[in-house]
Chains A and B, each alone.
Chain A
Amino acid sequence: MKIINYLLFFILFVTLYSCEEVVEVDLQESKPRLVVEASIIWEKGNSGNTQIITLTTTSSYFASAISPAKDAMVEVISSTGDTFNFNEIEPGIYVNTNFLPEINMEYRLTIRYKNEMYTAKEIMIPVVELENVEQTLNGGFSGNDIELKAYFNDPAEISNYYLFKFIFDDLSVQIYDDEFTNGNRTFAYFSNKDLTIGDEVRFEIQGISESFYEYLYILSSQAGENNGGPFQTQPTTVRGNIINETNEGNFAFGYFRLSQSNKLDYKIQ
């Protein structure tokens, strides 16, 4: 129930009295590691043939440029033996245009980078469709923010994990598990104080695996805006599902995942 986390009230409370200031801090620097962003997204109704895998390396915390991981060999093999090669079209950007997505199929990712081999396995997760959006004009903490609820029907037979994206100005991401709503018609909730009537927004729902849900859960607690204060949780190193087969200690960050997705556009009335 991620929602309780978002709403922990003391964060609001502490900010009322507190004062935030950007300060200079000297940080140590660690040696660069490979970062894998292999998110295979299959939007319902599309072929899903074109897929992109991005490889970068970690950089110092205050660096502004992202360093691409160049000259890697990237391939994805399905459990039925289909091989998809990803070719580097720009530094660190690897593309395949004949990918064949299949629900519940297991895929294996292999990357050769700087004489080391990295692998990962994952299953393509299905998702239900977003049905409709309901809005209220007097929500949020202030009582006059626009609230949006995008409804969907959660399948009852299994535990489901979702990733929601809400696109308006910038991207907002939420994760959700159906522990308290299994089998019910339920909703993804968004509110933003800058929303006004006539704005066009986009919702996206993606089916994700439990382990990717856990991964994102840790990531969002580290990357969010709401860390800090006496009630913050311990920061930690977040490991994904990429294994370095050659040199165990030189592990990579990132994740290999395959998700079905569905989008819904909405204009605020």
Chain B
Amino acid sequence: MRLLRLFGVFLRVSVMGEAAYPANFLAHLLDSALELAAALAGLALIFAHTATLGGWRPEELGALVGVYFLVGGIIGLVIQPGMEQLTESVRDGTLDFTLAKPEDSQLLVSLWRVEIWKLIDVGLGLVVLGVALARLGQRVGVAQAAAFAAALIAGGVIVYSFWLILATSAFWLVRVENILVIFQSVYEAGRWPVSIYPGWLRFGLTFLVPVAFAITVPAQALAGRLTWRVLLGTAGFAVLLFGAARLFWRAGIRHYSGASS
């Protein structure tokens, strides 16, 4: 498990770096707690007027908000900072040092930056998810839980591959920070089930920016409304996109000419 060992190393480095600023913990906790409070207050406001939103019961949407924070936290924890640093080091040429290391370069650039404070979002997401699950009660069986885990992993792989493809395009386009920021602003649309959006927007949120796979599909699994076909399709798409990202990364590395040439 080179992946876990490397992640452990980078996590330790990040903890050592940030431990010098303990007050940051409270500041980040306040930020995340406020955002979560706003999301839940928004839900309360909506369900004061209706019993279901597009067929979703309150506790199911609560689970969706939990998944939103969980996945958003993971993206912010390791994917986004790593990919931002990647575009940066392609631009200034410091990627040379990374390529010279005796470890898979894709693995390295995917893990080399860990923003530990985002663990707060991961934790809050898990708490919300737990509360929502307790409310859903017996409706969540073993099959649903397994489908949820599978959908979450597949969704995570899809989001990761998507980010890697965007960041890898820096080998040709050089300045892609703006494209990365756009994902962040579109991700917010995932706080609601994509099924409520009109067709063109749903398509965009599924295939152009894979918010649907990352958030709606796992939450659907918990609510027990995920068909096996969608789950298999998601898993297939994850494998496909991961392979494509890997090939694209290889092509990018070959194209990369380094700082001194």
Note whether A and B form a binding pair.
no
